[in-house]
Structure 1
Amino acid sequence: MENQMHHLNENMSQNNLPIRILRMTELTVMLGISRSSIYEKLNPRSKYYDENFPKPIKLGASSVGWQYASVEKWLTSRMV
């Protein structure tokens, strides 16, 4: 967790912009896919697994989020 925080702080200082974190509800709306589809993309044993799909960031004991910039980059890569 400490390493992730260092990484987030490092990104913020490089861009001078705060890191935007998307929670699951925002992510499903942004991508237009269901919660279960997101988890399928993250599951290496699923036939829908996408190794390039952004990995969630642990925010607390039972909460996760996704870095907006990573999701946006993934979306852009799919528009080719």
Structure 2
Amino acid sequence: MLSVIINIKRMYLVSGYLFNIIALHSMVNALSILFNIAPYRKAVTNGFKKMLRIKERQSITIKVTEYSGKSITSLPRK
């Protein structure tokens, strides 16, 4: 019916392309939701870590803090 109104001779080709475009659009929307909302993004990354058994490297961080007391060398000797 639509091909008669628009006068498209190969409507099956147009419908095939349209189906692929709609599928691609919905996939892009789903990925944008997954990666833009933090809880979803965290759930996806944790899921991949569990599936692929990826372990993060353990690292030691040194935090410099201010020391307000006297140093050992400045204490009076007995």
Would you call these one fold, judging by a TM-score over 0.5?
A: no
Higher strand proportion (structure 1 or 2)? 1
Higher helix proportion (structure 1 or 2)? 2
TM-score category (smaller protein): under 0.3
Normalising by structure 1, we get a TM-score of: 0.22
Normalising by structure 2, we get a TM-score of: 0.22
With CA pairs under 8 Å and 6+ residues apart, which has the higher RCO, 1 or 2?
1
